[in-house]
């Protein structure tokens, strides 16, 4: 009997106001602020993007989270991988996760990804990037406090677990200088609480560069798409360009085709969705740590404007076609049956499954159809 793939969609909680965002980007800031300001920058550019029925929700409303979970359940999305922000006891954007924790009817499976990167204004900064919050990893008292907070989610019946081990993602493990010690300590605490340890994973944009001992402490690396594929494509492109130069064949035209001029000294980088998707479904990761990824689309110009990157050519039909291929690829070439999908609601980065005014529910329906066709 074929095992069913578990599809987890990345979930961004930045759809409610917090004082920290208000102080940097203005009162009332949420992810919708950038989405609403987005502009069409070239002919085939799909902007602005408007949620169906102008549903600019706030995630402090548990009914909206229930609506999201109900949509996911009815269209073949098995769970949410939710970003969590912790800066030595300072929590940011924690309300949606805590609403899920405190309301048993919000029972879609979840897992936490600790977004341990610095909290800064990098995506909007024109000049020097300002770091607003960072993590002091040397504070071992904070390790215990942080674990105790995470434990309140690990104990949920709908928290993703394998073999009595809750799954926990770390976005950038290489930022943690005492990584081995932290992981060992959290495993000890988890065992004291009746678990058999924690199954750690990390977001793989490239292969984890830490020493083998550190990498061995992770059960999984999640191929974070589309960036994981971009790196492979760009590496291949650099080799091709070098060969072209050696053969004295001008390559500037092909390079410039990837960019669109918006105004003097500013460029938006373009990528073809089908090229990236084909690279993803062609991956054959025999490493038993690898969890496959896929993506709906990418366009971060609502955040970065003319410094952004846009994948053009994604439609529900094209997405469905490559999702079918990826489900088959996972079944044949991966040692586990997970798929991590970018994304449920990354509206300001062009990756979302929620219905919009152009396509309605078609992306969600594409997942349901792909699963019906493949039986996976």
Q: What is the pTM of this model?
A: 0.93
Worst-scoring range by mean pLDDT, 87-101, 162-176, 183-197, 240-254? 240-254
Q: Is residue 278 very low, low, confident or very high in pLDDT (cuts 50, 70, 90)?
A: very high
What pLDDT is stored for residue 211 in this prediction? 56
- For the cut 50, the answer to whether the pLDDT of residue 246 exceeds it is no
Give the tens place of pLDDT for each residue, 182-206.
999 999 999 999 999 999 999 987 5
What pLDDT is stored for residue 127 in this prediction? 60
**Domain residue spans in the chain?**
6-230+265-374
- For the cut 90, the answer to whether the pLDDT of residue 270 exceeds it is yes
70 burial level (CB within 10 Å; 0-12, 13-18, 19+): exposed
The CATH label, of 3.40.50.1980, 3.40.630.10, 1.10.357.10, 3.20.20.80, for the domain at 6-230+265-374 is 3.20.20.80
- For the cut 70, the answer to whether the pLDDT of residue 12 exceeds it is yes
d(CA 374, CA 376): 5
* Residue 334 DSSP label: -
Q: What sections of 257-352 are H helices per DSSP? A: 273-281, 301-304, 316-333
Give the tens place of pLDDT for each residue, 31-47.
999 999 999 999 999 99
Give the tens place of pLDDT for each residue, 52-100.
999 999 999 999 999 999 999 999 999 999 999 999 999 999 999 999 9
d(CA 318, CA 170): 31
Structure tokens at 243: 């060969």
Structure tokens at 79: 């769970």
d(CA 280, CA 343): 15
| 149: number of Cβ within 10 Å | 16
Residue 343: name the closest of 373, 368, 363 by CA: 363
Compute the mean pLDDT over every residue in the chain, rounded to the nearest whole number. Answer: 90
Q: Do strands 6-11 and 79-87 pair parallel, antiparallel, or not at all (unpaired)? A: parallel
Q: Is 85 helix (H, G, I), strand (E, B) or coil?
A: strand
- For the cut 60, the answer to whether the pLDDT of residue 125 exceeds it is no
- For the cut 60, the answer to whether the pLDDT of residue 241 exceeds it is no
Worst-scoring range by mean pLDDT, 103-117, 259-273, 291-305? 259-273
What pLDDT is stored for residue 261 in this prediction? 59
248 versus 46: the higher-pLDDT residue is 46
Q: Is residue 235 very low, low, confident or very high in pLDDT (cuts 50, 70, 90)?
A: confident
């Amino acid at each position: 009997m074929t095992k069913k793939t578990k599809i987890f969609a990345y979930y961004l909680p930045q759809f409610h106001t917090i004082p920290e965002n208000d102080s940097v980007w203005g009162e009332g800031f949420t992810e919708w602020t950038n989405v609403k300001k987005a502009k069409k920058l070239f002919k085939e550019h799909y902007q602005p993007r408007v949620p169906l029925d102008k549903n600019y929700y706030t995630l402090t409303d548990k009914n909206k989270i229930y609506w999201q979970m109900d949509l996911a359940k009815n269209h073949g999305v098995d769970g949410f991988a939710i970003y969590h922000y912790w800066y030595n006891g300072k929590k940011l954007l924690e309300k949606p996760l805590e609403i899920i924790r405190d309301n048993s009817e919000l029972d879609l499976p979840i897992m936490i990804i600790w977004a341990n990167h610095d909290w800064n204004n990098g995506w909007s900064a024109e000049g020097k990037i300002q770091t607003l919050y960072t993590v002091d990893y040397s504070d071992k008292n904070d390790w215990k406090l942080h674990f105790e907070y995470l434990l309140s989610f690990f104990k949920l019946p709908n928290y993703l677990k394998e073999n009595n081990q809750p799954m926990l993602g770390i976005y950038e493990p290489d930022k943690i200088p005492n990584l081995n010690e932290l992981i060992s300590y959290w495993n000890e605490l988890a065992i004291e609480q009746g678990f058999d340890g924690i199954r750690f994973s990390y977001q793989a944009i490239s292969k984890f560069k830490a020493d083998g001992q550190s990498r061995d402490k992770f059960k999984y690396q999640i191929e974070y798409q589309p960036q994981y594929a971009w790196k492979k494509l760009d590496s291949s492109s650099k080799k091709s360009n070098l060969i072209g130069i050696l053969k004295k064949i001008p390559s500037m035209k092909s390079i410039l085709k990837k960019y669109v001029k918006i105004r003097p000294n500013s460029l938006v980088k373009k990528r073809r969705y089908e090229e990236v998707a084909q690279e993803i479904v062609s991956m054959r990761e025999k490493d038993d740590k690898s969890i496959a990824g896929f993506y709906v689309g990418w366009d971060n110009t609502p955040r970065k404007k003319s410094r952004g990157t846009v994948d053009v050519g994604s439609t529900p039909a094209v997405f469905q076609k490559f999702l079918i291929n990826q489900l088959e690829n996972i079944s044949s070439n991966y040692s586990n049956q997970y798929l991590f999908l970018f994304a449920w609601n990354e509206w300001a980065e062009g990756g979302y499954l929620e219905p919009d005014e152009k396509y309605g529910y078609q992306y969600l329906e594409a997942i349901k159809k792909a699963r019906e066709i493949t039986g996976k």
